[in-house]
Structure 1
């Protein structure tokens, strides 16, 4: 239904925000605040570091995105979260989204249904709503129809 990106965030007062350009090596030197072990987002992040041959410094683990954002806002480290999840905080100046050279981690949100199942009127309405409204969301990229498994 939509395209999201995982973005690197830091507190506005964090020294990394003052660098003229930020590289993967720069963020690897900072303590990273991650979701609990086994989460799909954490696996994506760890895989990205591995793909670049860089070892990440794990500063702490948190239970969810809100906890991660609060820890970053408090200056305990940097993190990587959904771009959608930090729109409010970045807009209000509580967090800074960092542009990291060579770092792009898109993530698709898809609607998946069983191919032999009937769509109820409520499901059809939801699918129509999602297709029409997703393009209006910032960072959204709408597919023509849901993916069927």
Structure 2
């Protein structure tokens, strides 16, 4: 097992490139810094620093170890914080974190008298990985594959809408159905959000499921492409509220049962509090969010 104290010394040394400065910053004696590095080199059986008159330089092995060392120290901090209950780290998939979750974070921070809350925003797969790695405590996601050791609850349903330029023929429609999109090509957004699974179900009764003409990495990129006339796309209704209000895009809802995406809140199980929801989860499920724009209708 790698010694985290030695790891911390190595990371500091690679940052400051000086044994004396590292000792001063860590509040330990310079010989102790040397001892930590020597013990780590002996354990790994590789050299980690090259000493010189102008300081020390990392070896290739040290540079290879560095990202893992930083991750270990961060995970150690997260473990200590989890035990003490000092802070909360929330992860959110991009669309939720950018367009939906912010008022809930604000009202939670206000209600809890400014707890130390950090919000990490990334793609759905990245946030899922952060949750599994204990880098976030709670994740709010567009799609989640159930896993042992985690609990998940449905938070809210968010409709998908078809976005088109104001000049598109579909802009005049009050709603669209499978017949309007059968065999068409759509602009794709962020992968791993579960939209493809919704389309499979929506077109399960014979209509030709639409394809993807180009795959863009974010909803913002999709919106700009649609504005430029490069095609049409499906997005969460909340992500185009501003564009609909200004008239730069038209958002057309789906007919019938529509295409509603179930947004999930997920957290790691705590055996000691199996019947108790984390505070932030309770806040979301109880509708804490202050004054929010309605996203059910466009």
Same fold (TM over 0.5): yes
Corresponding position of 1:111: 265
State the Cα deviation string for residues 57-99 of structure 1 (Å, max 9, x = none). 4322111111111111111111111111111111111111113
| Deviation, structure 1 residue 134 | 4.2
Q: Which one of 180, 197, 200 corresponds to residue 44 of structure 1?
A: 197
For normalisation by structure 1, the TM-score amounts to 0.71
Q: Indicate yes or no: 2:219 matched with 1:65.
A: yes
Larger radius of gyration: 2
In structure 1, C-alpha distance between the alignment counterparts of 2:212 and 2:246, rounded to whole Å: 27
* Residues 46 and 13 of structure 1, relative CA distance in 2, 3 Å threshold: same
Corresponding position of 1:54: 207
In structure 2, C-alpha distance between the alignment counterparts of 1:117 and 1:82, rounded to whole Å: 37
Q: Is the 8 A contact 2:189 2:222 kept in 1?
A: yes
SS in 1 for 2:215: strand
Please report the RMSD computed on the Cα atoms of aligned residues, expressed in angstroms: 2.9
> How many residues matched?
135
Q: Which has the higher contact order (CA 8 A, sep 6+)?
A: 1
Structure 2: where are the runs of 5+ without partners? 1-154
Q: Which one of 224, 237, 241 corresponds to residue 87 of structure 1?
A: 241
Q: Is the 8 A contact 2:173 2:252 kept in 1?
A: no
Corresponding position of 1:31: 185
Q: Indicate yes or no: 2:232 matched with 1:78.
A: yes
In structure 1, C-alpha distance between the alignment counterparts of 2:272 and 2:159, rounded to whole Å: 31
State the Cα deviation string for residues 79-120 of structure 1 (Å, max 9, x = none). 11111111111111111111333361112223222152659x
In structure 1, C-alpha distance between the alignment counterparts of 2:266 and 2:186, rounded to whole Å: 32
Q: Is the 8 A contact 2:186 2:212 kept in 1?
A: yes
Corresponding position of 1:133: 288
- Between Structure 1 and Structure 2, the one with more helix by share is 2
SS in 1 for 2:288: helix
Q: Structure 1 segments of 4 or more deviating over 4 A?
A: none
For normalisation by structure 2, the TM-score amounts to 0.39
In structure 1, C-alpha distance between the alignment counterparts of 2:290 and 2:264, rounded to whole Å: 14
* Residues 20 and 86 of structure 1, relative CA distance in 2, 3 Å threshold: closer
* Residues 47 and 11 of structure 1, relative CA distance in 2, 3 Å threshold: same
